[in-house]
Amino acid sequence: MSSAGHSRFRQLSLFITAVLIGLPLFVIAFNTLSLPWSGDWSTLSHLWQTVIPEYINHSVWLLIGVAIGVMSIGVTTAWLTTCCDFPGRSILTWALLLPLAMPAYITAYTYTGLFDFAGPVQTTLRDLTGWGYGDYWFPQVRSLGGAITVLSLVLFPYVYLITRATFLQQSATTIEAGRSLGLTPWQCFRRLALPLARPAIVTGTTLALMETLADYGTVQYFGVTTFTTGIFRTWYGLGDLPGAIQLAGLLLLAVVVLMFLERWSRKQARYDQKHHRKALPFQLRGWRAFAAAAACWLPLLLGFALPALQLIGWSIERAEVWLQPEFWQLALNSFMLAVVAAVIVVLLALWLAYGRRQLPTPMVRFSVQFAGLGYAIPGLVIAVGLMVPLIVVDRWVIGLSQAWFNYNPGLLLSGTLFALLFAYTVRFLSVSLQTIQAGLTEIRPSMDEAARIQGYSGWQVLRRIHLPLLRPSVLTATILVGVDVLKELPATLVLRPFDFNTLAVRAYEMAGDERLADAGPPALMMVAVGLIPVILLSRAMLKSQRPALKEPEFVPTTA
């Protein structure tokens, strides 16, 4: 095959790969867009008359509440740890990322166990006061407000991380000018830093809202009816797959709107000022230092420390679970699934990212970008969109097998690990793809050219030059994808084989049966593994800040 023919073949193969990865999205979009032409309005009309207004109402209020929560916590902590100096700041800089290791539905279980009527907090309150049921008011944990609180405490690190990076990159001259004019730290924040960081705040908030739309475990456990719970109920409760697809189409539309908002906010990032010199932080003393420390430690306490302590307590209470072979079989299932999925996803990401590097044509760039859209799509939407084509293929294969060999092979794709791995690939390819692409950008194109001059083929360049240099990126991508797979609940719950269980599903089942203590060991195992990428991210943050901290520019102002 000639060089031109080989390039065309590579471009076509990359395009086909992107189409296969986007198959669930095509199915959802096609069924939603074809609805006006098919004339089948009965299901959607019934849903609009009964449940969709409630789904929209709860989803909108949930998004508004979480947006306010993550912006309030994330922006405040980002400013205080970046531009102010107070006791504990060096620890809080990385510790505020720890809530990322705590899945939202796990935090929901712990808060229910702590603050529900039978929990230790209300029980202690009744013992101390002698009150009985109905004698006092206590916030209802299982409510829309409870879901907003839990999701805000778990998702605020998205805003914190991106906003803090923007505060670090802002020019020192801007803050210094405000100081010279006598502005207080609060005035510098409100008048100078906050307007310049607005695009980053919008981006972080949008990412948190996408996770909110994708959440199933938290809202289902708290009894909040949203589109994700509605899709699951329509599909499994009513057995109405077309109705579930139509609800998934509405949810997909909401995600597309959020994605557009996030892309638009990144275009506005050119308004951020960047300079190599960083302003030294304001020195806070007295009550100001205490208030700043409290504002940062409280989200960490509520978002990570308190749930983690509750999980540890449950795990000690159910210590016998750690000795049961069934528990370790669940752990083995989860880890093996995570490893296999991570290897598949990383290999696909290498194939797509390296193909884009070698053939940066518009079609290849579009294909790779499209293949990375899955992370913004809820796992339940991907599962619904994936089941339709897999069921069609299974029926076709069974029909052929019975006609030719008089043999029914059963389900080969749907209801098997293949479907689950396919969904994980669609959902988490973006995580691996962005990590590997970032690693490839650090490798100069001149190294490729020098290798080609020496007669190396494209495969040899990848194997002998790129892969050794990409080893940290590949390892990071593998860990990130593996941990995400381990924590993924909706897709696993829907697509897993009937005789296959994981830690996430077991924790969900135990909590659903009100056996919260039994949910402790599998939940604690997931949180412990989830700490690995958080630790890597924290180390990267600290490493990137060391040069800036070694060069003091002027004596900081005392506030």
Evaluate whether residue 380 is within a structural domain.
yes
Distances (CA, A) of 320 to 153, 330, 334, 549, 556: 31, 15, 20, 48, 55
**Angstrom distance (rounded) from CA 380 to CA 364:** 28
- Rounded to the nearest 10°, the torsion over CA 488, 491, 494, 495 is -110
Q: Flag whether pLDDT at 81 surpasses 80.
A: yes
Q: Domain range spanning residue 457?
A: 318-501
Q: How many domains does the chain have?
A: 1
Does the structure show a pLDDT above 70 at 358?
yes
Residues comprising the chain, all counted: 559
Q: Which residues pair with 329 in a beta bridge?
A: none
Residue 385 pLDDT more than 70?
yes
Domain membership flag for residue 413: yes
Q: How far is CA 25 from CA 1, 72, 243, 248, 376, in A?
A: 34, 33, 16, 10, 11
Position 156 in a domain: no
Of 323 and 44, the structure prediction assigns the larger pLDDT to: 323
* CA 198 – CA 500 distance, rounded (Å): 46
Q: Is-contact 430 465, C-beta < 8 A?
A: no
If one counts every other C-beta atom within 10 angstroms of the C-beta of residue 511, the result is 24
CB-based burial label for 88 (10 Å; 0-12, 13-18, 19+): middle
Choose among 294, 214, 293, 274: nearest CA to 248: 214
188 vs 501 pLDDT, higher one: 501
Phi then psi dihedrals of residue 513, to 5 deg = -90, 10
Dihedral sign of CA atoms 532, 513, 54, 50 in order: positive
Q: Would you call 111 helix, strand, or coil by DSSP?
A: helix
Q: DSSP secondary-structure letter at 302?
A: I
Answer whether residue 336 is part of any domain: yes
Domain assignment of residue 231, yes or no: no
- Tell me which residue has tokens 């479907």: 419
Query: Does some domain include residue 422?
Result: yes
Whether residue 508 is contained in a domain is answered as no
What the block records as the tokens of 216 is 């199933």
CB 378 within 8 A of CB 251: yes
**What are residue 558's DSSP bridge partners?**
283
Q: What is the DSSP letter of 364?
A: H
Which token pair is 369? 């970008």
Q: Is the pLDDT of residue 377 over 90?
A: no
Range of weakest confidence among 42-46, 54-58, 414-418, 474-478? 42-46
Check residue 77 and give its pLDDT. 93
**CA–CA dist 145, 40 (Å, integer):** 37
* pLDDT number for residue 445: 73
State residue 15's pLDDT score.
Answer: 86
Q: Is 5 exposed, middle or buried (0-12, 13-18, 19+ CB in 10 A)?
A: exposed
Burial of 504 (0-12, 13-18, 19+ CB in 10 A): buried
Instruction: Give the pLDDT confidence score for residue 554 in this predicted structure.
Output: 35
pLDDT at 6 (0 to 100): 65
Measure the CA–CA gap between 18 and 434, rounded to whole angstroms.
15
Residues 231-282: pLDDT tens digits?
Answer: 888 877 777 777 788 788 888 888 888 777 767 766 655 444 444 455 567 7
191 or 395, higher pLDDT: 395
Report residue 558: phi and psi, to 5°: -95, 130
Does residue 155 sit within a domain? no
Window from 35-49, 72-86, 141-155, 424-438 with minimum mean pLDDT: 35-49
- The pTM for the full model equals 0.84
C-alpha separations of 160 from 357, 407, 552 in Å:
32, 58, 24
pLDDT at residue 442 tops 50: yes
Q: Which amino acid appears at position 200 of this protein?
A: A
DSSP-derived letter for residue 412 is: S
CATH number of the domain where residue 476 is located: 1.10.3720.10
What pLDDT is stored for residue 238 in this prediction?
A: 72
Which of 58-67, 215-224, 452-461, 493-502 is predicted least confidently? 452-461
